[in-house]
């Protein structure tokens, strides 16, 4: 049993390290593992494709906010939906990403979140709840997007292991 737990922890740590580098993750890489690695952080998830014009415009902004807010517990995870991974790799050669990239050529994650167009982004709070969702990327709305990020960064996650956050529910 201990060996299995250690193996799982090593797998999670290895996966988290791989995700933190700029790369296209293998198709087996799941968003769940990425989110587990970022537990307790505010996460901006962005669905994109190499052929998407607004996606190109969003990359410099996502790089900026990743760097600007990472020390406050913020991260960006992008999910590429190109059918051909080569197109995504070429895109990333021209549009650097300072954030995690997950490759989802079958659109499994996109179907789960009912993605209708690209780019589509979601902002998840520290408790893992989707709080904001946007279709498209509009440079005129980046202040709004950033205000939403700041609002979530200024909240404290619910921590049920901390007695002070549970209230006074001790039984006699």
Rounded Cα distance between 152 and 41, Å, is 9
Report the mean per-residue pLDDT for the chain. 80
Residue 36: per-residue pLDDT: 76
Task: For residue 25, name the pLDDT band (cuts at 50, 70, 90).
Answer: very low
Give, to the nearest 10 degrees, the angle between helix 53-69 and helix 142-153. 30
pLDDT in tens, 50-108: 999 999 999 999 999 999 999 999 999 999 999 998 999 999 999 999 999 988 888 98
pTM: 0.75
Rounded Cα distance between 165 and 117, Å, is 39
Residue 141: per-residue pLDDT: 97
4 neighbors 43 (Cβ within 8 angstroms):
no
Rounded Cα distance between 75 and 41, Å, is 7
118 neighbors 81 (Cβ within 8 angstroms):
yes
Both tokens of residue 139? 């440079």
3 state SS of 95: coil
Class of domain 23-154: alpha beta
Mean pLDDT, rounded, for 115-121: 94
Rounded Cα distance between 104 and 79, Å, is 7
Residue 29 phi/psi, 5° resolution? -65, 125
The domain segmentation of the chain, as residue ranges, is 23-154
The half-sphere exposure of 154 on its side-chain side, counting CA atoms within 13 A, is 6
85 neighbors 24 (Cβ within 8 angstroms):
yes
- CA nearest neighbour of 122 among 78, 91, 64, 88: 78
pLDDT value at 166 more than 50: no
Task: For residue 159, name the pLDDT band (cuts at 50, 70, 90).
Answer: low
- 129-to-26, 77, 141, 164 alpha-carbon distances in Å: 25, 15, 22, 22
């Amino acid at each position: 049993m201990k060996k299995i737990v250690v193996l799982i922890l090593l797998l999670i740590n290895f996966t988290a390290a791989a995700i933190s580098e700029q790369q296209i993750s293998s198709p087996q890489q799941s968003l769940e593992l990425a989110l587990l690695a970022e537990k307790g952080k505010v996460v901006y998830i962005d669905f994109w494709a190499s052929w998407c014009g607004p996606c190109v415009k969003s990359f410099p902004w996502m790089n900026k906010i990743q760097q600007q807010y990472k020390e406050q517990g913020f991260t960006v995870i992008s999910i590429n939906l190109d059918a051909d991974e080569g197109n995504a790799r070429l895109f990333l050669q021209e549009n650097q990403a300072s954030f995690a990239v997950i490759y989802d050529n079958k659109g499994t994650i996109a179907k789960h979140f009912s993605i209708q167009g690209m780019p589509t982004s979601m902002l998840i709070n520290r408790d893992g709840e989707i709080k904001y969702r946007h279709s498209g990327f509009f440079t005129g709305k980046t202040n709004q997007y950033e205000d939403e990020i700041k609002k979530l960064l200024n909240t404290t996650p619910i921590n049920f292991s901390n007695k002070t956050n549970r209230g006074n529910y001790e039984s006699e």
